[in-house]
Amino acid sequence: MAMLSAAGIACADPCDLDVPRFEPTLATVATSHPRSTRVPRTIEVELAGFATRAEAAKCFGRRYHELRRAEYITAIVQVGEGWGYLTPGKGGRNVRKVATAPLFEAYRAAGFRLFALAHTHPYGTPHFSDVDLAAMLKAGSGEFYMTNWRNETWRMDATMVSDQLEARAWRANERGVRRLARHLGFEGERVE
Ligand SMILES: [Zn+2]
C-alpha cells in the first residue's frame, strides 16, 4: 500500500524487502522436481504500488538477485493505477534454459494479463542471453527485464533487438541473436 504524506505525495517505498519470498516448498507437487521450473501453488501479486513497470521489475530483482542457485522469473501486471509483479517461479537448479511456458500458463489461468516479463541472471551472462533475445523476437511485443547478480536491472523490447540487428545487417533469426548476444553482450537499457 502506498501511503500518502500530508502533501498527498506517495512517499513509502513499495519495495518491501521483508515480505517472504517464493521458495521451492511453495511450488505445485507436479513441479517439485529440482530440475523442473517450479510453479507456485498460490499465484498472487507479491508486491504492488509501483508507478512504472520498470520499478516493479527492479524491486523483483532487488529481492531475488541474491539467490544464486537458480533463475527466478515473474510477470509484471497492472494493479489499480499502478504496477506490481506476481509470485515468481523458479528455474531448475543451475539450469540455463528455463522452461517458462508452464509458469506463464499458470499466471494466465489465475486470471492475470501479463504486461512484461522479468527474470534474474544469478550466473552465466550479466547481460541478456541469446535465449532471451530469441524469446523477445518471437514474442514480437512487450518488454523484458533482467536483473543480474550485481543487482543491475536492464530492459529491452523487440524493437531494440531488431534495430540492433538491422544496424549490423544481421538477420532477425536464431543466428543473428546469437551473434548479438555472444559477440556484443546485449545489454538493452539500464533501469536506474
Ligand atoms: Zn535471461
The Å distance, Cα 132 to ligand 1 centre, comes to: 5
Rg (CA), the chain: 17
Q: Please check whether residue 3 lies inside any domain of the structure.
A: no
The predicted-structure confidence for 99-133, as pLDDT tens digits, reads as follows 999 999 999 999 999 999 999 999 988 999 888 88
Exposure pattern of 1-16 as b/e (b: 16+ CB <10 Å)? ebeeeeeeeeeeebbe
Beta bridge partners, 89, equal: 73
Q: Please check whether residue 66 lies inside any domain of the structure.
A: yes
Decide if pLDDT at 75 tops 90.
yes
101 burial via Cβ count (<10 Å: 0-12, 13-18, 19+): exposed
The Å distance, Cα 131 to ligand 1 centre, comes to: 7
Q: Please check whether residue 58 lies inside any domain of the structure.
A: yes
How much is the pTM? 0.89
Q: Please check whether residue 164 lies inside any domain of the structure.
A: yes
Q: Please check whether residue 9 lies inside any domain of the structure.
A: no
Give the CATH number for residue 86.
3.40.140
The predicted-structure confidence for 11-68, as pLDDT tens digits, reads as follows 689 999 999 999 999 999 999 998 899 999 999 999 999 999 999 999 999 999 999 9
**What total of structural domains would you count in the chain?**
1
The Å distance, Cα 141 to ligand 1 centre, comes to: 17
Domain that holds residue 64: 24-191
Q: Are 88 and 22 in contact (CB under 8 A)?
A: yes
The Å distance, Cα 33 to ligand 1 centre, comes to: 21
DSSP single-letter state for residue 58:
H
Provide the pLDDT confidence category of residue 84 given band limits of 50, 70 and 90: very high
